[in-house]
Amino acid sequence: MKFIIIFLLFLVSSINLSGQWYYKKYHVTDIDFLAEEQMHESLSKAKIDLLGAGLVAGAGVLGILAGKSTLKRGLGEDATWLEEQLGSQFLGKTYISLGIGMMAGGTAAGIVFLGRIGNIRAAHDRNFKPEGYLKLEPVIIPGSYGHSSCPGMALIFNY
């Protein structure tokens, strides 16, 4: 069990799941300060990282399947000397343990990268609206006297 936890911690630290990735890479304190090219670059990198996390999780599933197969069928005829000395039970349980760790790490990283992709797209849509953009949205208009407010509508047009 300790091995699985140590492996997961290593996996998470190796994928670089820092919370403020934009500060580390671009030295800005808010994602809204990124230029459009930087956002496109960050989005493509996040997509590649998401694919890598999916591959790690998929490799974990394959490890689990290999471990179950080793436990069920035993070692094959082409087993090495070391595999024969360790035995099929030990190898099967080791494959399953590593597979569970990789699957959990890949899934956690995938969730982080999905959130990162969503944040980048939301920031891009907030800051770089296309020409001819028209939006009608409800707003609350604060009053200057008596701290009152009233509902209203805002028309936003980007030209």
Instruction: Give residues with Cβ within 8 angstroms of 99, minimum separation 6.
Output: 59, 60, 61, 62, 63, 64, 65, 66, 67
Lowest average pLDDT, out of 4-13, 31-40, 109-118, 150-159, goes to 4-13
- The number of domains in the chain is 1
pLDDT of residue 50: 94
Residue 147 in domain:
no
Residue 143 in domain:
no
Q: State which residues form the domain around 44.
A: 2-130
Distance CA 98, CA 7 (A): 8
Residue 140 in domain:
no
Lowest average pLDDT, out of 61-70, 74-83, 121-130, goes to 74-83
Q: For residue 155, give the 3-state DSSP assignment.
A: strand
Residue 150 in domain:
no
The arithmetic mean of pLDDT across residues 89-106, rounded, is 86
Residue 77 in domain:
yes
pTM exceeding the 0.75 threshold for the entire prediction: no
Residue 155 in domain:
no
Residue 88 in domain:
yes
